[in-house]
Structures are given as structure tokens and as C-alpha cells.
Amino acid sequence: MTHGFSLADDLDLAHRLADAARAAILPYFRSIDLGVDSKGAAGFDPVTEGDRAGERAMRALLAEARPDDGIRGEEYDRVIGTSGREWVLDPIDGTRAFLSGTPTWGVLIAMNRGDAPVLGVIDQPHIPERFWGAEDRAFCRGPRGETAIRTRAPRDLGQAILFTTFPEIGTPREREGFAAVASDVRLVRYGIDCYAYALLAAGQIDLVIEAGLAAYDIQAPMAVIAAAGGIVTDWRGGPAHQGGQVLAAANPAIHAAALARLTPFAG
């Protein structure tokens, strides 16, 4: 059952979820009451009170507006719905940036109907700047107003701009794969989490390569990038909506060039 909601209804709710997360999270940003814990058994895997508050706010709104929809979030247990829709939530993608006071973290919201996401939102509350997309239309709203966005036109790999979050991406083998692409591009930049995917959708960069992602890390960026004309796959060119190794590209041509170098290193 899909309970009769249109894509426009879903997008409206996605914006309301983003608004609710903004209101819940921003009081914690650059605050002395941040409340940082580590989820990692080995190494530092931070979670803050801002993460938890943002997800609780979104879940509360979904419980009221869509009690039959499923929910998959980073901080709390998965809810299996009956409507055929699932909301995939990451209240703060880039918690390390958040606790460091840098405004490159974001709220990620996607909605899928059992497989790949059909809409996505990447929201940066502090700037404030929001990117969203569904079907073949993507937009950005920020300090300079609202505008439609599209990914960059094809260019040689040697002219490309490539982003990833961590220089020490994934396993040693995955780092070799990243290096195989990085050695051929014009510019490599690091460390801005989901904001890199927003820049790709907005036509500013060409490639994002990641490894070790979860579904809630990638489904919202996937939807926004696809709506803006880009492509997101795993390192073999297959589906990426469950996370893992991810290649996001501005267009099929540069995707193919990067994929040819990555596939030998795919897990």
C-alpha cells in the first residue's frame, strides 16, 4: 500500500523534516553543552546530543504525519512500515565537523519505495543552505535565493575535481583504488562530508569517491545528484543505495573514466 500520497506530498514532508532537524540541532552547534560520546569499540566514532535531538525531532514528525511509513536512521532502531515508503535519516552527517565547529556537516533525508531513493534533501542549517531533488529536478536554496541546479558537463579526467572525506579512505586496498583516480585528476580535496555531494549536484565538482558508507550516508545524496543529472554507483557500476564503496559522478562520461580505474579495487 502507498496510502495515496503524491511525490509533491513527500517533498513537502521532507522539507518539514529538514526544518524540524534544523531547529533541534542548531542550539548544539558551537555550544559548550555539546555532549560528545563515542560509538566506536575501537577508535573515535563520535555522536552528540545534536545528532540524537535531530533524529528524535524527525521521527516525532513522521510518527504524526506518516505513522505507516518505515524509518531507517543512524541513531535509533529501524521501524518497519506498512505503506511501502521508508524514510532514511542521518541527522548529522559529518559529526566530526560538527563538534569541531565547521559548517560542512549536514542533515540527510531520503525517501525510498523499497529500493533506490526517489527523493533526497541535503540541508546545512548553519549557512543556511538546502539542496533537494526528485525525478529530474534539483534545487538549492540559500543566502542567494533559490535556483535550479545541474551537474557539470563532461570533461577529461585530467580536468576533474575529486573529493573524499578522509585521506585514509577505507582499507589499504581501497586507498589504492582512490589513488588510482586521484593521480589523474586536476584537484583533490578532503574532509567536507555530505557537502561534497551537494557541490557535485550544484555543478561545482566532478567526482566523490568513498568507502565504508551506510545506507543513511548515501541515499539522500544519491537522489539529489540523480535529479541534477549525475550518477551514483558502487565501484563496479552497480547499485549503491545500501552504502559500501561509492562513486558519485557529474555525468556518465566522467563516471566511466573513474570507474575504469576503481573497478579493479572493488570489494
Q: How far apart are the first and last CA of the chain?
A: 36
Q: According to the model, what pLDDT value does residue 42 have?
A: 59
| C-alpha cell at position 120 | 533526497
Q: Is residue 98 part of a domain?
A: yes
Rounded CA separation 89/117 (Å): 12
Q: Which residue has the higher pLDDT, 160 or 32?
A: 160
183 and 135 belong to one structural domain? no
* 32 class by beta-carbon count within 10 Å (0-12 exposed, 13-18 middle, 19+ buried): exposed
11 and 130 belong to one structural domain? yes
Decide: 53 and 24 in contact? Cβ < 8 Å.
Answer: yes
Q: Is residue 2 part of a domain?
A: no
pTM, rounded to two decimals: 0.95
**CATH code of the domain containing 257:** 3.40.190.80
Strand 161-164, strand 187-190: pairing: parallel
143 and 168 belong to one structural domain? no
**pLDDT tens, position by position, 162-200:** 999 988 899 999 999 999 999 999 999 999 999 999 999
What distance lies between CA 172 and its chain's CA centroid? 24
128 and 253 belong to one structural domain? no
**pLDDT tens, position by position, 51-75:** 999 999 999 999 999 999 999 999 9
The residue range of the domain holding 124 is 7-148
Rounded CA separation 183/12 (Å): 42
45 and 142 belong to one structural domain? yes
| C-alpha cell at position 13 | 514532508
